[in-house]
Structure 1
Amino acid sequence: MLKDRWWLGLALATLVLLPTAGLGSMAVAPLSLRIPAAPGQQGSASFTIRNTGTEPITVNITLHDWWRTPDGRFQILPAGSLERSCAEWVLYSASSLELAPGEEREVTVKVTVPEDVEGDHWALLLVAEEPRPEGEEEGLTSTTRVVVTYAVKILQQDPVNKHLEAEIKGIELVQPSPLELRVRFVNTGNAHLTTQGTVEIRDIFGETVRSFSVAPFPSLPGEERVILLEDTSSAPLPEGFYYVIALLDFGGDYLIQGGAPLQIPAPQG
């Protein structure tokens, strides 16, 4: 009955997925678990949940998959729905917890990797505070509540069979001044990547007249990221023809690059 009430409460609630670890009446940390485990091996990690409020709370933990769209939207999917899901290999020590005010509990996550797979895999645990029961008012058929939920990402990393590969599928000039570029990046390997780099602006003689850094960004195997890069320099480029090159370091044995022509017109007036 309590479980049915929980799902009813979730159906009538507004789900708030929090990106930080200490809002609402509970704190969850860390929100990302990296678990090194080769095929045929087991790895583990843990996170903690703390009741930061003044009343007892019930916390429910459920297993899911997750994905990020090219434009950066976070998607929560049914467990086991992705090709590289590790949800079927995951065991966690508690699916429901009762926490007194100030109490802290540790949840252990174990991943047992089959022998016939290679590369990185991932899943997600949603850690949700159960809505507190409220007195029913006569004639009230539904109540909207906010459900505070944290997403704990699980990344199983294969230390033996990882292949770091990536491509720039396209580069588009959004606007010339201030310079904005849209880069289509694809992780074509089987491992999680953290990519960073530099954008260089070269004149017709091939000399670099300006450069700026590309902040690190993550990507999962098979993931396409559309990254907007902007030159934040205050000084505009002089009139002329240029070539813009994005040089990205994804952690592999080589750099990848893409380029686009750029023309700065003469000032009006």
Structure 2
Amino acid sequence: MRTYWHFILVCFFFISSLSSLFAQGISMSPTRLFFYGNPGETVSLPVVLSNSSNSDYVFDVNTKDWLREEDGNKVYFEAGSLENSNAAWVSTMESSVSLPAKSNREIVVTMTIPEDASTTEVTNSMLFFTQIGKQEDFAEQQKGIGIIALFEFGLHIYCTPPNNTTKSLDIVSMEEISDENTDSVKVAIGIENDGNVVNDAQVELEFTDTDSGEDIVLNPINISMLPGAKQKVVFQLPPGIKGSYLGVAIVKMAGTNDLRVGEKTFEL
């Protein structure tokens, strides 16, 4: 497993070059591929890399496992490490991809589902396109610049058995998170995916002053959860909020009119 420090450093270098990345016009669409198939079947889907810049790029193609912790952060593992990994099922025609300037490149991603694959469990992995440094980049490093900022795209890969159709989320908790050293107050909404498909949703939180009736509507937070996953969605309350409030959490699942609503009174 990648250590947290390694992960933080990767994020630092990626974020530091992210504005440059989009300024140079490198993009990927879509960012998620959803495969549906039975054991023994082979399914293919396309992903498009676009380069509107004046530079040529080459990307290495590799896979990793990943999971999302309760706080929403992703943690990456070596391919095949996790129980529900499908990294070994995923392939592309090439192990590296050339993306010339002012061009689009369609990459066909193929999933070969094993004969003994589960007919009930959703599997997942991440397909990475990692920029390979050019000779001039390494020459600049030798001159003392020291950092080569490489770009990396992560493509989410999911495989869902065709009979999995239950889309459901459940609100399992609402709790205040206080910091004794500050006046900051946060509220964590605990959510569980008790269905059997990947579920995208928008989580909303409204606070109503039980004395004045004044409403506080917080910015919604988007989530995506694997079946069986649990996540705490944390909202920052306005500073200085005091009194008795009714908190109402609303979970709106994508692709359905079904809602989940939770209520709790908070004494702040």
Question: Helix, strand or coil: the match of 2:88?
Answer: helix
TM-score (norm 2): 0.71
Q: In the superposition, relative to structure 1, how do residues 173 and 154 fare at CA in structure 2: closer, same or farther (>3 Å)? A: same
Q: In the superposition, relative to structure 1, how do residues 73 and 129 fare at CA in structure 2: closer, same or farther (>3 Å)? A: same
- 1:182 equivalenced with 2:183 (yes/no): no
Q: In the superposition, relative to structure 1, how do residues 241 and 147 fare at CA in structure 2: closer, same or farther (>3 Å)? A: closer
Contact 2:209–2:215 under 8 Å retained in 1: no
Contact 1:212–1:231 under 8 Å retained in 2: no
The answer for the alignment partner of 1:168 in structure 2 is 171
1:122 counterpart (124, 147, 159)? 124
The answer for the alignment partner of 1:84 in structure 2 is 84
Contact 2:171–2:191 under 8 Å retained in 1: yes
2:266 counterpart (243, 262, 266)? 262
After superposition, the C-alpha distances for 1:203-225 in whole angstroms (9 at most, x for unaligned) are 879xx874747444211223222
The answer for the alignment partner of 2:5 in structure 1 is none
Offset at 1:109?
A: 0.8
Question: Alpha carbon RMSD of aligned pairs, Å?
Answer: 4.1
Count of aligned pairs: 246
Offset at 1:140?
A: 7.4
Which residue identity is paired with 1:126?
A: F
Distance 1:211 1:89 in 2: 47
Larger radius of gyration between Structure 1 and Structure 2: 1
Q: Which moved more, 1:220-229 or 1:159-168?
A: 159-168
The answer for the alignment partner of 1:64 in structure 2 is 64
Offset at 1:103?
A: 3.4
The answer for the alignment partner of 1:101 in structure 2 is 101
- 1:36 equivalenced with 2:36 (yes/no): yes
Distance 1:194 1:151 in 2: 18
Question: Helix, strand or coil: the match of 1:152?
Answer: strand
1:151 counterpart (151, 154, 157)? 154
Q: Which moved more, 1:178-187 or 1:27-36?
A: 178-187
The answer for the alignment partner of 1:5 in structure 2 is none
| Structure 1: runs of 5 or more not aligned | 1-11, 265-269
Offset at 1:102?
A: 2.4
Identity within the alignment, %: 20
Contact 1:246–1:259 under 8 Å retained in 2: yes
Question: Helix, strand or coil: the match of 1:64?
Answer: strand
TM-score (norm 1): 0.70
After superposition, the C-alpha distances for 1:24-63 in whole angstroms (9 at most, x for unaligned) are 5743322222223344433321112234443433221111
Q: In the superposition, relative to structure 1, how do residues 240 and 143 fare at CA in structure 2: closer, same or farther (>3 Å)? A: closer
More helix by share: 2
Q: In the superposition, relative to structure 1, how do residues 197 and 150 fare at CA in structure 2: closer, same or farther (>3 Å)? A: closer
Distance 2:139 2:113 in 1: 48
